[in-house]
Amino acid sequence: MSTNHSRRDVLKLIGVTGAALAASEVYTAFSGQASVEAASSITPLLRYYSADARNNVVVKNKRRAMLSSHVYPKATFVRDSFYGPLALNDVNLGADCYRWFAETQNPNTGQIRCAVPFDPKNEFLFQIWDDDSSLLFVIWAAWLKRNRVTIDQAMVERAWTFIKTHLRNDFHLTPAQPFCYWADTVQFDTPERVAHNQGLYVVAVRSMLEHGWGNVVAADVDRARARYAEFYRPALGSLTLGKDSWWADKLDISTVFPEFLLRWLYQETALPDEAIRNTVDHLVQVGSVTKADKTLAGLKVICAPDGSFLPPARFAVPSLNDPGHYQNGGYWPMYTLIALALRYKLAPDPALKARIETLVRAELAQDRRSKEIIILAPGVEGATDPNRSGYTWNSLIAPALKWAGVA
């Protein structure tokens, strides 16, 4: 069997660090104590999210690019390259970052890759998986064009052609593999309709409609919205991660993230307010994890319907996926805080605001660095791997909290 080097290998290399830390219990633990600066408001702390994004702008081959963090120095990744400039409202930076992906589009299929290595000799590390990158590329292109950046329409429509190969009755169907969306270690053994990807499809088709691309009509948007809403299960009181496989009843806080993008970018809705409220409230109820002193450590990003951790074998990178680590019930500030912000926007509540402020202070008050992942494993709740700090996409937290009226 030939060696298949990919981002999975990159994650494994980083995962070794996490595994070693786990074995020795060498973590950075949060006390949850707010600094004097943040005693009355989290607003002063939010600038550190933006500072991390700006710190991740690099110049490679005489061109600007965005890193996910300095843990990943060899390539630029599509999610951070879009979300970072979007959060900073830096259109010129967004245009610079966009070109890395436009220029490496597959000319035959239209697919947009997840990561572009800066040095061709590192190409083997970044296998091109069938993930959400093409969906994000379309949304990104529409945002740039809205801000008067010249966009090659044919290139966007080629990406749209690739996206359409995934459609089944207006559902976006994800192949049986890992690395299918941001939660890239989730292992799909059969094709699956993934709520997060369906929501991004809604925003993508709305983006195509905005500029008259791809012969998209309003009815296409309406059908995509209706399918996204079908991920809500009234009996459970929550949206679910999937619909078809073992993952069909699992919970994922990022299911509502595309709804935030739709409401923020287009002032439109796909999910009923009740579905959002119930989904977030259910995850807060079953997925919250506290430390020994009873202070909130975080919310599990992905978990079972009752909030329990999932079997590690259901994830693709064993060194990362013990219960409470990484995507098996770790706390991811970006997706969780934006979900809580969306919930707060619908119904401002002092208790929810206090919960959000607790999480922001716990993450930022000590070292002023955003965290990719906060560990919720039993016995080390609220700890971090110090290598996983300073992440670009966390910069979206600040505008989301301001949009929601939290800060």
Per-residue pLDDT tens for 56-112? Answer: 999 999 999 999 999 999 999 999 999 999 999 999 999 999 999 999 999 999 999
**pLDDT tens track for 171-218:** 999 999 999 999 999 999 999 999 999 999 999 999 999 999 999 999
Q: How far apart are the first and last CA of the chain?
A: 54
Give the integer Cα–Cα distance in Å for 57 and 67: 6
pLDDT over 90, % of the chain: 88
CB 173 within 8 A of CB 192: yes
Close Cβ partners of 329 (under 8 Å, ≥ 6 residues apart):
287, 300, 301, 302, 303, 309, 310, 323, 376
**pLDDT tens track for 25-52:** 334 443 333 333 333 489 999 999 999 9
Nearest to 46 by CA among 307, 394, 379, 297: 394
Mean per-residue pLDDT for 276-305?
97
pLDDT of residue 18: 39
Amino acid at 181: Y
pLDDT of residue 139: 98
Tell me: domain 7-404, CATH 3.40.50.300, correct? no
Mean per-residue pLDDT for 378-384?
96
Nearest to 54 by CA among 394, 401, 335: 394
Q: Which residues pair with 192 in a beta bridge?
A: 174
- Residue 20 pLDDT class (50, 70, 90 cuts): very low
DSSP character string of 222-276: HHHHHHHHTTEETTTTEE-S-SSSGGGG-EEGGGGHHHHHHHHHHS--SS-HHHH
Give the integer Cα–Cα distance in Å for 206 and 86: 17
What is the DSSP secondary structure assignment for residue 117, as one 8-state letter? E
- Residue 5 pLDDT class (50, 70, 90 cuts): very low
**146 pLDDT more than 50:** yes
- Residue 11 pLDDT class (50, 70, 90 cuts): low
pLDDT of residue 25: 36
pLDDT of residue 386: 86
pLDDT of residue 41: 86
**257 pLDDT more than 50:** yes
Give the integer Cα–Cα distance in Å for 200 and 369: 28
Mean per-residue pLDDT for 115-121?
97
**4 pLDDT more than 70:** no
**pLDDT tens track for 119-143:** 999 999 999 999 999 999 999 999 9
Kind and range of the H or E run holding 58: strand 57-60
pLDDT of residue 9: 54
How many angstroms separate the Cα of 330 from the Cα of each of 36, 216, 303, 342, 402? 28, 38, 9, 20, 25
Tokens at 280, concatenated: 């977030």
Average pLDDT over all residues of the chain: 91
Q: How many CB atoms lie within 10 A of CB 121?
A: 9
Give the integer Cα–Cα distance in Å for 155 and 175: 23
Tokens at 85, concatenated: 């400039």
CB 213 within 8 A of CB 153: yes
**237 pLDDT more than 70:** yes
